[in-house]
Structures are given as structure tokens and as C-alpha cells.
Amino acid sequence: MDSRQKLKKNNIKKAADSRSPKRVSRKTIRRRRLVKRIIGVVLGAVVIGALFYASSKLLFVVKTVNVNGSEIFTPEEITGFMAIPAEESMFRVDTDTLEENLLNEFKYLEDVRIVKRFPDIIEVTLTDSVESYYTVQDNVYKIYSQQFRYLRNGSEPPPETVWLDLDVENSEKIEQAKNLVRQLEKNKMEKITKVSVRDDNSLSAEYDSRITIEFGTVLDIEYKIKMCSKIISEKIPEGEHGTINATNSGEAIYTRQ
């Protein structure tokens, strides 16, 4: 076979090879699939983001702010302070910050709960503070709410409030007083006029401004209160003054003045 024939044969072979599909490796196939998946995920995220943005601008916007629960403040006062812009996105409303700001601004709000009702309603539920306790220092009465929230100063205690004989700056004593008040209320001792927490070993209360009740420590406090409640209701005449010593668990001794 001469050189011309060989050249012609080689050209024919190359042409055939160029027309036949090239073999692709498995690694290349996996890479291509991975690229396709990544592109799909990115495009999906873009579409979802666009839909979310559009819905937040067009669908989930504040249409109504409902305010209820307060007999002190009007809905207009509350919504005016909240100042939520018209057509504000529901997702941009920071309920925690609004709750904190309302409590700081309005002292006679004991509690604030703000809930988003999708797609377009903000529910604001308020609990008013009630003047429930007071402390006395240098003839100045400091008035506190039912959860020991400071409300105001006064020249005299409001009616039907309880005297707190304790350091209101001491969080531990405040918690002890709260627990003592809860236990007294649980046992329907509704005429408590004073709660004293001098130290861990000296808890006491005053009933109807005439019966001093000495509990000592918090040990068995619920049982002590039950004993004292029974003595007051069954053994002490109305109007009589005296002291109940319940510092020893298991017994309560009444002494008439």
C-alpha cells in the first residue's frame, strides 16, 4: 500500500471517529449532575425569596391592631404609642420590643401580650396594674402593684392595700414575700394588712390590723398558714387583738392582748 492510500485510509478513520459519540467518564457525569442540582436549588431559592418578598409587601401587612383588656388606657393611646406604620409588614413588627416599651411607658400596665394573627392582625392584650402594696420610709408611701411593680409615691396608703415591711431592693426578700402572699391567698386569708420579711428566719403577717402572725422560717409555711387560718376563724372573736406564734412547725399558739 503506497503512501497515498495510507493517508486516505487515515483520513477516513478520523472522519468516522469525529462522527461517533465520545465516551464520557462517570466522574464527568456526576459533576454535571451536581452542577444541575446546584443550579436548581439556587433558582428555587430565588423564586421562593421573590414570592416571600412579594407576599410580605402585598399580603402579610398590618391591617388591624386590636387592643383589649385595659380599663385605664384607651386603644387609641396604645396604638398611638406603638406607632406601627400603615401597611407595615407583619414580619417587621417586633412584638418583644413593643411589649417592653409599653410597660416602660405606661406604669399602670401590669402585663402586655402582643400576638400576630396572620395574615394581617395584631392582637394586644393588656392587664392593668392594681395598687396592692405600699412601703413607708420617712413618711413617704411608695405604692406597688399586685406583682410588686412600683407605681407612684403618695402621702398616705391607698385603701385595701398591704403594708410591705421589707427591703424592696432585695430580690430574694421580694420573692419570699410573693410566696407568702400566694400561700395566704390560697388559704383565703383575705384580710392581710401587713407582710414582713426581715430575714430568712423572721417572716410574719398581720391579719385585719389586729392579729400578728409569726411564721419564723419558710419551712412548712403552707401548713403553718392553714393552722393560723383555722385558729382565726374558729377561736378568735371578731375585734379581738392578739398574736399567733407559729414559728415551731406543728403547733400554733395564740396569745390574747
- The reported pLDDT for the residue numbered 192 is 96
Looking at the domain assignment, is residue 43 inside a domain?
no
Both 243 and 175 in one domain: the answer is: yes
Q: How many CB atoms neighbour CB 185 within 10 A?
A: 12
Both 201 and 120 in one domain: the answer is: no
pLDDT tops 80 at residue 45:
no
Read out DSSP for 187-240?
TT-TTEEEEEEEETTEEEEEETTTEEEEEESSTTHHHHHHHHHHHHHHTS-TT-
Cell numbers for 152: 407612684
What CATH number did the domain enclosing 89 receive?
A: 3.10.20.310
Looking at the domain assignment, is residue 41 inside a domain?
no
Both 170 and 122 in one domain: the answer is: no
Structural domain containing residue 118: 64-128
Looking at the domain assignment, is residue 121 inside a domain?
yes
Cell numbers for 166: 421589707
Looking at the domain assignment, is residue 4 inside a domain?
no
DSSP-derived 3-state class of residue 244: strand
Looking at the domain assignment, is residue 236 inside a domain?
yes
Cβ atoms of residues 182 and 176 within 8 Å: no
The domain total for the chain is 2
Looking at the domain assignment, is residue 49 inside a domain?
no
pLDDT tops 70 at residue 51:
no
Both 182 and 105 in one domain: the answer is: no
- The reported pLDDT for the residue numbered 2 is 56
Both 197 and 246 in one domain: the answer is: yes
Produce one character per residue of 82-107: b if its CB has 16 or more CB atoms within 10 Å, e if not: beeeeeebbeebeeeebbeebeeebe
Both 173 and 232 in one domain: the answer is: yes
Both 201 and 252 in one domain: the answer is: yes
* Strand ranges in the chain using DSSP code E only, listed in sequence order: 64-68, 109-117, 121-128, 133-137, 140-144, 150-154, 162-165, 192-199, 202-207, 211-216, 242-245, 253-256
pLDDT digits (tens, 9 = 90+) for 18-39: 555 556 677 777 777 777 788 8
Both 172 and 104 in one domain: the answer is: no
More confident residue, 250 or 73: 73
Both 119 and 188 in one domain: the answer is: no
- The reported pLDDT for the residue numbered 213 is 97
pLDDT digits (tens, 9 = 90+) for 124-139: 999 999 999 999 988 8
Both 177 and 118 in one domain: the answer is: no
Arithmetic mean of pLDDT, 39-62: 68
Looking at the domain assignment, is residue 156 inside a domain?
no
pLDDT digits (tens, 9 = 90+) for 202-231: 999 999 999 999 999 989 999 999 999 999
Looking at the domain assignment, is residue 226 inside a domain?
yes
